Amino acid sequence: MNEILHANIFFLIATIATVVFCVLLSFILYHVLKIVKSLRAIIERIEAGSEVIARDVAQVRELVVGGGIWSRAIQFFIGRTRDNGKKRQRVRTEA
């Protein structure tokens, strides 16, 4: 009888531990799924934003390639910054 009592106690403890483990695992998986959903929403917003940026860059490129006052203005500023980067060397004359 003593052995049967020990076996019943063991199975009772094992059953309780299994139920607690399954509840904790379900709780953890629920929160992981919530995190994955929010990450998915963030990624979708980033993708939408990158598409908008790509369209804007394409429009700016068309304006620059198409010529006109925009390209001249950009060339003016780019040309000016290139000249500013060069240092002029002084020629020393010994007298």
Question: Which residue numbers in the chain have pLDDT < 70?
Answer: 67-72, 80-95
For 26, half-sphere exposure in the C-beta direction (CA atoms, 13 angstrom radius) is 6
Token readout for 16 is 């309780």
Using alpha carbons only, give the angle 58, 80, 61 rounded to the nearest 5 degrees.
5
Q: What is the pTM of this model?
A: 0.51
DSSP 8-state class, residue 40: H
CA distance 72 to 41: 42
State how far the Cα of 48 lies from the Cα of 52, in Å rounded to an integer.
6
Exposed/middle/buried for 47, CB within 10 Å: 0-12, 13-18, 19+?
exposed
Tokens of 74: 């950009």
pLDDT per residue as tens digits for the range 44-65:
999 999 999 999 888 878 777 7
Residue ranges per structural domain of the chain? 1-79
